[in-house]
A and B are shown apart, each in its own frame.
Chain A
Amino acid sequence: MKQHTLAVLVENKAGVLSRVTNLFSRRGFNIESLAVGTCEEPGMSRITIVVIGDDEKVEQVTKQLNKLIDIIKVSDLMENERVERELALIKVAADPGTSRAEIMQIAEIFRAQIVDVGAKTMVLQVVGDTDKIDALEKLLRQYGIKELVRTGRIGILRGSKTAGTGK
């Protein structure tokens, strides 16, 4: 069982996300993360899906995705050199005093930004790969994480290769 990051270029039409996720759920796949947004082509969106599964099963679901009329292209980013990033917003308990200073130090090490400071909390914004965000989360746990929001992973191929249609 291996992690796969699939970049799915779709027509931006009602129901397209259900069509995509249906193909995963009917095969018992749990989607680890999902990110959807507009992309370089007008009228299109890119869905980035992270799933864990056997290579053959992921290959089958990729082929099924390709059959959907509203889907233009499916790429498994794991097959190539790539950059993957996630953004997380973490609201952490931070009483004025020692913990606040420590949290600010940790943020600096992780190149996280402090985007909100309240009376008893601070909000950190961090960008990085999954491991980095996991590591930061682990460190902040001791102070008390009130809320954590992650965007889901997005990825892009290195060099001139793209997951688009090349048009």
Chain B
Amino acid sequence: MKTGAKILVESLQREGVDILFGYPGGVVLPIYDELYDSSLKHLLVRHEQAAAHAADGYARASGKVGACLATSGPGACNLVTGIATAYMDSIPIVAITGQVPTNLLGNDAFQESDITGITMPVTKHNYLIKDARDVARTVKEAFYIAGTGRPGPVLIDVPKDVSTGVVEKVEYPETVSLRGYNPTYKGHKRQIEKALQLIAAAERPVIYAGGGVIASNGSAELVSLAGMLSIPVTTTLMGIGCIPGDHPLNLGMLGMHGTEYANFAITESDLLIAIGVRFDDRVTGNASKFAPNAKIIHIDIDPAEIGKNKRVDVPIVGDVRLVLKDMLALFKKTGAKDAWMKRVKHWKQHHPLKYRKDGCLHPQFILQQMNELLKGDAVIVSEVGQNQMWTAQWFTFRHPRTWITSGGLGTMGYGFPAAIGAHFARPDLPVFDVAGDGSIQMNIQEMGTVAANKIPVKIAIMNNMYLGMVRQWQELFYDRRYSFTELPPVEFVKIANAYGIDGMKVESCEDVMPALKAALDCDGPFVMDFRIEREENVFPMVPAGAAINEMIGGHTPS
């Protein structure tokens, strides 16, 4: 005989949850009472949004399903941004919310919100449990749905009387059977053969790899295939880490703030091999001018992504890793595309990313110093805006799942709580959150969480006293009319100190490395307040709606 709350906690453990990020409240009291003496670890955050982001960061860094818990009403609503963030980036999390008792549903009871209704468009699926006997099966299904196929968030709403409801004989299902859910994993052999024919015939092929490569754990296969075929690889923001940053075939990120050589290569290519990507507008710019002369092979697990934004020639629906494995098995050695590789190398050499080296404190320099210190052996999380783009451009990632960022939704305030989650996934690695002074203030209350639990997350704030990315657009497209983008100076180290966290304010280049080393040596959290060049921009930049080879701060291909 067990209560719904007990079954819930046991079900989570059966699903392999080793940490639950959460915040208590009225209707989840029965669940929290179970957690009081459970072996399931719970981390108390300071705002529910952070619980969702932490579960998301945990999922991205570990490849497992993350889990979070909040009470009904405001608690559940505060999870929504975190759930939407996970949804846009296809990240598997299970969010559990308390709900008012079933007899009060729809009566505008205290702290009632229709969270299944609210989250319908931002979850892969959601449940409102109405009977304690359904708890075990629902949790099993939720984890299965979240973590398989194209991953995504699943929400389970648990009314209070379901938590307190007693089940006489509890059965934990071992398997899941859902008639309406059968993802395709294996790519169609004929399509794969057609793709290989196109590859053999191509003269200027490029691989465009995204988050799907990371999600399917297909990075090693991708690097093998690119190497065997000598095809240059450009990655999306979400795909960073699927090929080492210093790999000779890596062209870095493409798109709005991509490298010139990646964007030139895409524009001139005659074959685009799109792997685990969705042709997002920040990648393609003007979609009709994106890879205008290329045939397109598109590998993705989600059939709805095929042809959504761009017509493709050879679609392959399936799990990226499995499809790449099949391609490797079927592939026959073709001649290297020497002329094309020469051209790409020339671009890479003559159009590198660059910044002004004038002795002032530039964020790019800080990231180079981080590279030197960490050598890719760290989890780097970012907030959203300039800090995110500089990190994507300048930090050399060497492993998948070491770069954690809100790509699709672009959620400011994501980084710090996601870094907390990442730490629990990878306690063996240092975790850095590269932040802006705007973003960090969107979830700065989590200093309380890291201080109380000695979570060694290092926060590197690129402090320019602006909402930098918006300011950059105002500078370039709104005649420098800085409407509500200037922020007053904040002494972040003092805030950190108030929470009992150490920190350093850095105003010159020579102090960067000592601060980074102090952060790394410190066994708890650490805050670095880097006072960077205030009006530094992210370049190159493709203006909205332009073709990706029409970049500001770049030049025409030589």
Binding site for B on A (CB under 8 A): 10-11, 14-15, 18-19, 22, 26, 56, 59-60, 63-64, 66-72
Q: Is the Cβ of A67 less than 8 Å from the Cβ of B121?
A: no
Q: Is the Cβ of B304 less than 8 Å from the Cβ of A64?
A: yes
Q: Is the Cβ of A15 less than 8 Å from the Cβ of B125?
A: no
Which residue among A22, A63, A67, A72 has the maximum number of chain B CB atoms within 10 Å of its CB?
Answer: A67
Q: Is the Cβ of B120 less than 8 Å from the Cβ of A72?
A: no
Q: Is the Cβ of B179 less than 8 Å from the Cβ of A11?
A: yes
A19 to B116, CA, bound (A): 10
Is there a chain A Cβ closer than 8 Å to B181's Cβ? yes
Q: Is the Cβ of A11 less than 8 Å from the Cβ of B304?
A: no
Q: Which among B117, B121, B180, B303 is the interface contact of A69 at CB below 8 angstroms?
A: B180
A116 to B5, CA, bound (A): 56
In the bound complex, residues from chain A placing their C-beta under 8 Å from that of B120 are: 15, 18-19, 22
- The minimal Cβ–Cβ distance linking B514 to chain A, given in whole angstroms, is 51
A10 to B178, CA, bound (A): 12
Instruction: Tell me whether A63 and B179 are in contact in the complex, defined as CB-CB below 8 angstroms, given that A15-B116, A26-B121 are known contacts.
Output: no
Is there a chain A Cβ closer than 8 Å to B200's Cβ? no
24 residue pairs from A and B, CB less than 8 Å apart = A10-B180, A11-B179, A11-B180, A15-B117, A15-B120, A15-B128, A18-B120, A19-B120, A22-B120, A22-B121, A26-B121, A60-B308, A64-B304, A67-B302, A67-B304, A69-B124, A69-B125, A69-B145, A69-B178, A69-B180, A70-B180, A71-B180, A72-B179, A72-B180
A26 to B87, CA, bound (A): 16
In the bound complex, residues from chain B placing their C-beta under 8 Å from that of A70 are: 180
A4 to B117, CA, bound (A): 27
Q: Which among A10, A11, A63, A72 is the interface contact of B303 at CB below 8 angstroms?
A: A63
Residue of A nearest to B311 (CB): A56
Residues of B in contact with A, size category: 10 to 19
A26 to B122, CA, bound (A): 12
- The minimal Cβ–Cβ distance linking A69 to chain B, given in whole angstroms, is 5
In the bound complex, residues from chain B placing their C-beta under 8 Å from that of A14 are: 128
In the bound complex, residues from chain A placing their C-beta under 8 Å from that of B116 are: 15
Q: Is the Cβ of B117 less than 8 Å from the Cβ of A18?
A: yes
Q: Is the Cβ of A66 less than 8 Å from the Cβ of B179?
A: no
Which residue among B116, B121, B178, B180 has the maximum number of chain A CB atoms within 10 Å of its CB?
Answer: B180
Given contacts A11-B180, A15-B128, 13 further A-B contacts (CB under 8 A): A15-B117, A18-B117, A19-B120, A22-B120, A22-B121, A60-B308, A66-B303, A66-B304, A67-B304, A68-B125, A69-B124, A69-B125, A69-B181
A68 to B302, CA, bound (A): 12
- The minimal Cβ–Cβ distance linking A165 to chain B, given in whole angstroms, is 8
Residue of A nearest to B179 (CB): A72
A63 to B303, CA, bound (A): 7
A59 to B308, CA, bound (A): 9
Convert B129-147 into 0s and 1s, putting 1 for each residue whose CB lies closer than 8 angstroms to a CB of A: 0000000000000000100
Among residues 251 to 309 in chain B, which have CB atoms less than 8 Å away from a CB atom of chain A?
302-304, 307-308
Instruction: Tell me whether A60 and B180 are in contact in the complex, defined as CB-CB below 8 angstroms, given that A15-B120, A22-B121 are known contacts.
Output: no
Which residue among B128, B178, B179 has the maximum number of chain A CB atoms within 10 Å of its CB?
Answer: B179
In the bound complex, residues from chain A placing their C-beta under 8 Å from that of B308 are: 60
In the bound complex, residues from chain A placing their C-beta under 8 Å from that of B304 are: 60, 63-64, 66-67
In the bound complex, residues from chain B placing their C-beta under 8 Å from that of A11 are: 179-180
Among residues 306 to 359 in chain B, which have CB atoms less than 8 Å away from a CB atom of chain A?
307-308
In the bound complex, residues from chain A placing their C-beta under 8 Å from that of B178 are: 69
In the bound complex, residues from chain A placing their C-beta under 8 Å from that of B303 are: 63, 66
A60 to B308, CA, bound (A): 7
- The minimal Cβ–Cβ distance linking B161 to chain A, given in whole angstroms, is 17
A63 to B302, CA, bound (A): 9
In the bound complex, residues from chain B placing their C-beta under 8 Å from that of A66 are: 303-304
A161 to B120, CA, bound (A): 33
Among residues 14 to 33 in chain B, which have CB atoms less than 8 Å away from a CB atom of chain A?
none
A22 to B235, CA, bound (A): 32
A70 to B126, CA, bound (A): 11
In the bound complex, residues from chain A placing their C-beta under 8 Å from that of B121 are: 22, 26
- The minimal Cβ–Cβ distance linking B97 to chain A, given in whole angstroms, is 15
Among residues 133 to 189 in chain B, which have CB atoms less than 8 Å away from a CB atom of chain A?
145, 178-181
Which residue among A10, A11, A63, A69 has the maximum number of chain B CB atoms within 10 Å of its CB?
Answer: A69
In the bound complex, residues from chain A placing their C-beta under 8 Å from that of B181 are: 69
A60 to B303, CA, bound (A): 10
In the bound complex, residues from chain B placing their C-beta under 8 Å from that of A63 are: 303-304
In the bound complex, residues from chain B placing their C-beta under 8 Å from that of A56 are: 307
Residue of B nearest to A165 (CB): B179
Convert B104-129 into 0s and 1s, putting 1 for each residue whose CB lies closer than 8 angstroms to a CB of A: 00000000000011001100110010
In the bound complex, residues from chain A placing their C-beta under 8 Å from that of B307 are: 56, 59
Residue of A nearest to B306 (CB): A63
A67 to B125, CA, bound (A): 10
A26 to B178, CA, bound (A): 26
In the bound complex, residues from chain B placing their C-beta under 8 Å from that of A69 are: 124-125, 145, 178, 180-181
Residue of B nearest to A63 (CB): B304
Residue of B nearest to A71 (CB): B180
In the bound complex, residues from chain A placing their C-beta under 8 Å from that of B128 are: 14-15
- The minimal Cβ–Cβ distance linking B75 to chain A, given in whole angstroms, is 21
A79 to B424, CA, bound (A): 52
Residue of A nearest to B150 (CB): A67
Kindly list the 6 A-B residue pairs having the minimum CB-CB distance in the complex, ordered from nearest: A63-B304, A69-B125, A72-B180, A69-B181, A71-B180, A69-B180
- The minimal Cβ–Cβ distance linking B246 to chain A, given in whole angstroms, is 38
- The minimal Cβ–Cβ distance linking A28 to chain B, given in whole angstroms, is 14
